[in-house]
Amino acid sequence: MRLTVDHVTTYRYSQPVRSVVQSHRLTPSVHEGQKSLDWDVLVSDGVPGGSYRDGAGDRVQGWTVAGPVTAITVSVRGTVETEDTSGVLRGYRESVAPGAYLRETEATALGAGLRDLVAGIAAADRLELAHALADAVAGAIAYRPGVTHAHTTAAEALTLGEGVCQDHAHVLIACARVHAIPARYVSGYLSATEDGAPHEAAHAWAELHVPGLGWVGFDAANRCCPDDRYIRLGSGSDARAAAPIRGIARGLTSAAPEALDVVVAVLASEQ
């Protein structure tokens, strides 16, 4: 399948800031399940800086915008050819050992509720166990936008019983750790579903490490493994580490806050 992405993020500042420095994980991953046919990232009035591939295998690109500036637009446009690998990440180069993803973060910290949710789950092998964990998370958290926020933790989302893809991913990562399964957060895109069910085009899911297969993706929010409707951008221990855009605005204060507007469209066509 060919997926075309049009993703525009606009930052507005109520007062001019001196400058803005950003790092982007906005380049599609290189692996057997996807290939970029064309891909461009532009920052209004921005100057590209250094670019490198980090230990997790993600392409990181730096940008600087000299001030004073009151608005910045980050535009991502491109086409990616995808194929269904049943969620298995094949042909992906990275140097970080899977065990590094057993580390707890603030967003994925374990609470009693998270342990109780999956403590009694047993399976014949690790792959079956991973599917069972994803099913348990899907059943425990209903998809509902607007009830959580960027800093909601896995424990908080489970208590609410509602959330979005970020919450499903964080909860699954935490639950995997109960069973000593390395797990990480993945950011990317998802094309529109055929049945019109609500979803986020800028999407997130989790990958769990299964012996013999390697990293396998699980999208608990949609009760499936990533297929050819998905584009993988980058990964990290949680949403903050895997964020597609991270940055600092020099001169930004609480008296002159930042406003953010994001528009994402992902269109699919058969090859």
User: Looking at residues 164-192, what average pLDDT do you find?
Assistant: 96
User: Which of 264, 263, 115 lies closest to 175, judged by CA?
Assistant: 115
- CA separation, residue 251 to residues 22, 62, 260 (Å): 15, 19, 17
Q: How far apart are CA 130 and CA 165, in angstroms?
A: 17
The predicted-structure confidence for 134-172, as pLDDT tens digits, reads as follows 999 999 999 999 999 999 999 999 999 999 999 999 999
Do the strands 162-163 and 142-143 form a parallel or antiparallel pair, or are they unpaired?
A: parallel
pLDDT of residue 11: 95
Which pLDDT belongs to residue 196? 46
pLDDT above 90 covers what percent of the chain? 87
Q: Is the pLDDT of residue 200 over 80?
A: no
pLDDT tens digit string along 70-121? 999 999 999 999 999 999 999 999 999 999 999 999 999 998 899 999 988 9
* pLDDT for the residue 123: 92
pLDDT given for residue 271 in this prediction = 53
Cα separation, 27 vs 58, in Å, equals 8
User: Which pLDDT band, with edges at 50, 70 and 90, does 198 fall under?
Assistant: very low
Q: What distance in Å separates the CA atoms of residue 33 and residue 96, rounded to the nearest whole number?
A: 20
CA 57, CA 50: separation in Å to the nearest integer? 16
Between 175 and 253, where is the model more confident?
175
Three-state SS at 126: helix
Q: Phi and psi at residue 109, in whole multiples of 5°?
A: -65, 140
CA–CA gap between residue 193 and residue 218 (Å, rounded) = 17
Provide the pLDDT for residue 111.
85
Q: Which residues of 175-199 are buried (b: 16+ CB within 10 A; e: fewer)?
A: bbbbbebbbbbbbbbbbeeeeeeeb
| 178 closest CA partner among 240, 130, 107 | 130
Interatomic CA distance for residues 180 and 50, integer angstroms: 36
The whole-angstrom distance between residue 140's C-alpha and the CA centroid of its chain comes to 20
Domains of the chain in start order, with CATH, are: 2-81+244-269 (2.60.40.2250), 84-236 (3.10.620.30)
- Give the pLDDT band of residue 206 (cuts 50, 70, 90): very high
In which band, very low, low, confident or very high, does the pLDDT at 270 lie, cut at 50, 70 and 90? low
For the cut 50, the answer to whether the pLDDT of residue 232 exceeds it is yes
Mean pLDDT across 179-191: 97
Stretch (H or E) spanning 201: none
Strands 183-190, 230-236: pairing kind: antiparallel
pLDDT at 6: 95
Please provide the average confidence, as pLDDT, over all residues in the chain.
93
**pLDDT beyond 70 at 194:** no
pLDDT value at 199 more than 90: no
pLDDT of residue 269: 74
